[in-house]
Structure 1
């Protein structure tokens, strides 16, 4: 008990110290009405401009100030090349913006004493395991929502990509070696947070999706918001996902994120999300009535793990519980971004001292438009002028993150260093392979080609193109269809493959499978 109290005091002290010592913190003075009006006018013009310039096919924005929605508008098209316009009620998949939404839902459970942020997962969900016994026994909801469990960030994302459902993915996290010591490192984990949320919901006896509706969506009148992909598909007024194809936005990929619903599976509108922003800025009070206990909600904004500096603005950045906490050019802010590499970009930024918040949802990847609009709006609201072209700065940042990775993959497999050696006959490689994490994989000969089947019941198929000797290439990413990834085989004494390494599943060194039969 004394240790828990000491840790709690340390967290509060860290939070207060960061605010007091931050040298550029803005005052809590309200923003003058004429300044706000000018900022909103500039925001609207910028949004119209980025859509007209092809920055994104469509987007929607909500701005809240002093518990009022002061701006709410859609721009552009739900789908490139089609006439249907985005409006404030267009439903977007919000990707990782789901995380602070889910943190708010868990805060509601905490406020009702159904669960605690420090409840142990071993008590809530005894079947869940990490690789090591001590973290398994001590792991809490707080650990998973602050990404300090030791799980590598991509753990589980790889299994989702080949068709496994939530229950199977969470079960298989026990096979993933830790990236860092327990509570010693920050590693952003979709399925870690998903376990934290679903475990927190277990005392209710209801699934997470139903708890989300009960505790947040219905009380706030968020009638177009859901944590189920099927509900998203029911909306005629929904935004399609877009990626660049030959320099043009194209809606060609669907994304069902149900497996990681608490971390990335919420769909919503600018109108609905603005009501959630009102609740958070109101410290749990909505329309004058307490909805979530203020102390339970406040814990989500305590900085627990350092994230370094914001790569564009330079702000000091930390992670709380499902929220980024930054101390930057305009003082304290809470925020979170979301992205699907198959075509979504979202952002929320709140300035709690000024009771000001902005949410931007867009239907394209990769783009820095949400951050660019948010930064520009904040500059206008606080300073009356925009410091620089933030949209370009953030676009450049995203390009520097993702462009080189694709280029490196192409360069790696551009051509063998010497004339390619021939592959063995198909029977050298065909057969069944297995490891505990990935499960079964089958390599079969289909015509003159080899095909790799992965996932439950061979749910995903990947054509294998010979590269050199016992190395083959496949193209697993639908959004970057020209980016190759290697599949290599090791031959045994009998001249047949004894093992296979699938590069796109090997981020955590779990991509090697042993041959178990023909």
Structure 2
């Protein structure tokens, strides 16, 4: 253990040097004590303020095991098995039977049948939590409790149901159940608290090959799944609570049985890819796996493309845990630091170069969502577009809401999407097909917009993965 701790400074500094990630904070807990707690680099590129143990970072999806801790404290063991629908009047899934039976455990274990990342694109367009949760009913479902798909808003629905049952907001429930009793004074489930913190890390993304703090990720809509902010110091307190069966300094903060329940395998998240391959599981807000020695390993990664990458990993049987927080979009650093640490603790050396391996996984996930069409290069002999007025008008979509196509005096077209319309300039590609550059957390580069020849409807390619991306001209706009 001491060997691994002694090498952590070098591991972090090398990872930062290789990737250029501006700021990192790391904490390690062993046998109920914080044995390492340190910050590296700067909070914001171009400024001198340094990262320390109290610098507040956005946790992204490391919010999920934090949320499941809150849930354990709020509902105990039995509450996980209760249907959520009675406490969410506007919530429904496509199958009424599933709606009436889906539980908090189903949603926290990503086994509700909702498709991968259901609702995330609605959040990108600016819709709030209430709108997103009330529109999950349009999403197609895979077999209930027999399939796994990672959903921020499914998990958020379960958390909101419990908050409604308790008669408070999720943010207050988190404060009262976990953050205040544990003394996690720098931790919050509200974006405003993060934005107003005096010692906070700015999110960075690569822009023209350089790390820049140009974007802001406001995740309140999915706060239980991705909206927690915290410091390395507070996260080591949480790790002590996790490894101490819900107890801190002799005081039981979270019921031990309820907390243990979150650590059980619930869903097969990663089936074995070979006869002797290892199976990956998901618990209640945790990735659950078993290492080469058969020890339980609990972990979670968080990532915002707009500027955060985090990791928490625990070996409960060894009473050991590490948290790694960074202020840059995922390039492998947070996961690699944790993996290096456990490699060194176990064998004395790093087993492989983790950074490119982890980074390639993120790149594959991103690339899989990109269009296969090269919109920058229209085909030779591309058909001309029709007159701009053919396409202009107001359109409706039961899932994504209202859209407008606005024709400029110079014949240009602009697509407006979302409740506070986001404007996208349409570039002609071929015939009735145009393209625009996507934006936001789930941006996928250029995407297509294809109109029917009569201009009465159009389909947005990146919004149509589940067949929900067609907008039809409003009845009041038919003339």
Normalised by the size of structure 2, how large is the TM-score?
0.94
Distance 1:401 1:116 in 2: 34
Cα offsets for 1:365-415 (capped at 9, x unmatched): 131111111111001112222212222322333334335655x55x53242
**Matching residue of 1:502:** 460
- On the 8 A contact 1:142/1:321 being kept in 2, the answer is yes
Q: Does 1:254 align with 2:224?
A: no
**Matching residue of 2:405:** 443
Cα offsets for 1:104-133 (capped at 9, x unmatched): 00000123x8x7001111222243111111
Distance 1:478 1:116 in 2: 35
**Matching residue of 1:349:** 313
Q: Does 1:121 align with 2:79?
A: no
- The alpha-carbon deviation at position 481 of structure 1 amounts to 8.1
Distance 2:436 2:325 in 1: 33
- On the 8 A contact 1:190/1:264 being kept in 2, the answer is yes
- The alpha-carbon deviation at position 418 of structure 1 amounts to 2.9
Q: Does 1:386 align with 2:350?
A: yes
- The alpha-carbon deviation at position 482 of structure 1 amounts to 9.0
Runs of 4+ with >4 A deviation: 403-406, 478-482
- The alpha-carbon deviation at position 208 of structure 1 amounts to 0.3
Distance 1:320 1:153 in 2: 17
User: Considering only aligned residues, what root-mean-square deviation do their CA atoms show, in Å?
Assistant: 1.9
Alignment partner for residue 431 of structure 1, among 369, 390, 393?
A: 393
Alignment partner for residue 419 of structure 1, among 378, 381, 390?
A: 381
Q: Does 1:456 align with 2:419?
A: yes
Q: What SS does the corresponding residue of 2:312 show, helix, strand or coil?
A: strand
CA pair 305-478 structure 1, distance change in 2 beyond 3 A: closer
Distance 1:232 1:143 in 2: 30
Distance 2:26 2:233 in 1: 8
Alignment partner for residue 372 of structure 1, among 316, 323, 336?
A: 336
Distance 2:278 2:357 in 1: 15
Q: What SS does the corresponding residue of 2:448 show, helix, strand or coil?
A: strand
Normalised by the size of structure 1, how large is the TM-score?
0.87
- Comparing 435-444 with 476-485, greater Cα deviation is found at 476-485
1:128-147 correspondence to structure 2 within 5 Å: 128-147=91-110
- On the 8 A contact 1:315/1:329 being kept in 2, the answer is no
- The alpha-carbon deviation at position 260 of structure 1 amounts to 0.3
- On the 8 A contact 1:316/1:328 being kept in 2, the answer is no
**Matching residue of 1:98:** 63
- On the 8 A contact 1:55/1:369 being kept in 2, the answer is no
**Matching residue of 2:173:** 211
- On the 8 A contact 1:434/1:513 being kept in 2, the answer is yes
Alignment partner for residue 513 of structure 1, among 463, 466, 471?
A: 471
- On the 8 A contact 1:500/1:513 being kept in 2, the answer is yes
- Comparing 184-193 with 237-246, greater Cα deviation is found at 237-246
**Matching residue of 2:243:** 281
Q: What SS does the corresponding residue of 1:117 show, helix, strand or coil?
A: helix
- On the 8 A contact 1:97/1:336 being kept in 2, the answer is yes
- The alpha-carbon deviation at position 299 of structure 1 amounts to 0.9
Alignment partner for residue 174 of structure 1, among 137, 141, 161?
A: 137
Cα offsets for 1:39-94 (capped at 9, x unmatched): 01111111012223344111110100001111000111111222111111111111
Distance 2:249 2:114 in 1: 39
CA pair 57-457 structure 1, distance change in 2 beyond 3 A: closer
Distance 1:171 1:363 in 2: 32
Alignment partner for residue 260 of structure 2, among 298, 308, 320?
A: 298
Distance 1:365 1:127 in 2: 34
CA pair 401-457 structure 1, distance change in 2 beyond 3 A: closer
Distance 2:462 2:365 in 1: 18
- Comparing 365-374 with 322-331, greater Cα deviation is found at 322-331
- On the 8 A contact 1:243/1:479 being kept in 2, the answer is no
CA pair 404-108 structure 1, distance change in 2 beyond 3 A: closer
- The alpha-carbon deviation at position 334 of structure 1 amounts to 0.5
CA pair 267-479 structure 1, distance change in 2 beyond 3 A: closer
CA pair 479-128 structure 1, distance change in 2 beyond 3 A: closer
Distance 1:329 1:474 in 2: 47
5+ residue gaps, structure 2, are none
Alignment partner for residue 203 of structure 2, among 241, 249, 252?
A: 241
CA pair 396-182 structure 1, distance change in 2 beyond 3 A: closer
**Matching residue of 1:78:** 43
